[in-house]
A and B are shown apart, each in its own frame.
Chain A
Amino acid sequence: MSATVREIGPREARETGALLVDVRSDEEWKVSHIPGALHVPMSQVEERLPELVPDRSRPIITYCAVGARSYRILPTLDALGYEDAISMAGGIVAWRELGFPVDSESRLDEDKRERYSRHLLIPEVGEDGQRRLLETSILLIGAGGLGSPSALYLAAAGVGRIGIVDDDVVDSSNLQRQVLHSTAGLGERKARSARKALTALNPDVEVVTYEERLTSENVDRILTGNWDLIVDGADNFPTRYLLNDASVWHDIPVVHGSIFRFEGQVTVFKPHEGPCYRCLFPQPPPPELAPSCAEGGVLGVLPGVIGSLQANEALKLALGIGEPAVGRLLLFDALGARLDEVRVRRDPDCPVCGDNPTITEYIDYVDFCGGR
């Protein structure tokens, strides 16, 4: 067997009538797959294939996107005892190029084609990318200054599911910058006010609200809500350190943003691939050096700039395009109209994401941050 050619072209694959096994991820399968194929993600082949295809003599053709993964998995099939397993050269990309049919679980309808037409025109997004956005779930911590623009742009872009964690109510002093809320919503919970605004903007979006403050007690429940990404627009240090630790342990990337007066910071924390918040800032400043916007003020448009940069990073991560700001902290200065960048390196001695973590469960974050 090992001496024979272990690949077959899409045309031949189609003619043989052998069982096609798609070894790509769930995400890729949803976007498009070959009709009649069996889906077994690569990491599950060993465990699930013998159960799904007990007959070891049945001819099997594996495929993936372009034929690399489906070729690499062949020795696993051999080891499981399959006698006639080969890989489809060129994968589903070559299959589609030949004009052969593919199925999708979420083909865009006419309304969506129209609504997202400016995305569909961009090669880096296109129909596959738009479907991906519609299947993406993003959790926003805070529906305030930063959360407002990012929530609006993510909803407008067609991110299918948006979670909002905020226990606050809309106050008139918020309206100078929190564009998600309006005068009519004064006194209303921000999470509810946000849901109204987002579903009015785009009914395709499912908005999940958590009218509570993120705490050590509820963070695990909230983060297990199937979120692909988190956009951090919290307004205090305890929440930021809590969110950091939780996101590392739950392995969810965080798009971080923070603002004060005329200046803002943006970066992306991708657990284990890049640094975390504690690698960047192992310790919060003393309380007197950490005034909130309520104490120190903020230019109304600044959260608009920083929150939009966060939405930009979130969309790139969701689409898998561009260069996310992992390991780079962007510093925006509204007065100088300047955008600087500094490097952020993963700290191997980091107590949470380092090689030998010393913090492995939630701590008292208020105490850690000097009692705020």
Chain B
Amino acid sequence: MTTVRIPPTLRAETGGESAVPASGSTVRELLDDLTGRFPALRERIYPEGELARFVNVYVEGEDVRTREGLDTRVSDGSTVILLPAMAGGC
């Protein structure tokens, strides 16, 4: 099981949860599992199985786009962070 951190702007899509468990050995499997349970989240960041450009996914602190993208391996117990940009300075 892997813990996925949900950013504040996407928590409406996860029922308010800031961290959600998900399973999968790659980012793709993980997102399939996660967004299968939260369809609203799928629509937002993972429509048609493609990761939306505005959201970054980090596995063990590395942006998966600088690794193997959706094929990046996720080991059990690692931390995965979903991160869109935030503009606020106010």
Q: Which residues of A contact B (CB under 8 A)?
A: 141-142, 144-147, 232-237, 240, 257-263, 265, 280-286, 289-294, 296, 298, 303, 331, 335, 340-345
Contacts and interface: CB of A to CB of B under 8 A. Distances in A.
Interface residues of B, number: 24
B89 A260 contact: no
Contacts of B8: 260-263, 296
A343 B63 contact: yes
Given A281-B56, A282-B53, A340-B81, A293 B88 contact: yes
A289 B44 CA distance: 9
A162 B84 CA distance: 31
Interface of B: 7-10, 18, 44, 53-56, 58, 61-63, 66, 81, 83-90
Contacts of B55: 285
B88 A298 contact: yes
B84 A260 contact: no
Contact of A284 (B54, B61, B90): B54
A234 B54 CA distance: 19
Given A282-B53, A289-B10, A235 B87 contact: yes
Nearest to A231: B89
A265 B89 contact: no
B90 A343 contact: no
A233 B9 contact: no
Given A263-B7, A286-B54, A340-B81, A345 B87 contact: no
Contacts of B53: 282-283
A166 to B, nearest CB: 10
A237 to B, nearest CB: 5
Nearest to A293: B90
Contacts of B87: 234-237, 240, 258, 284, 290, 292
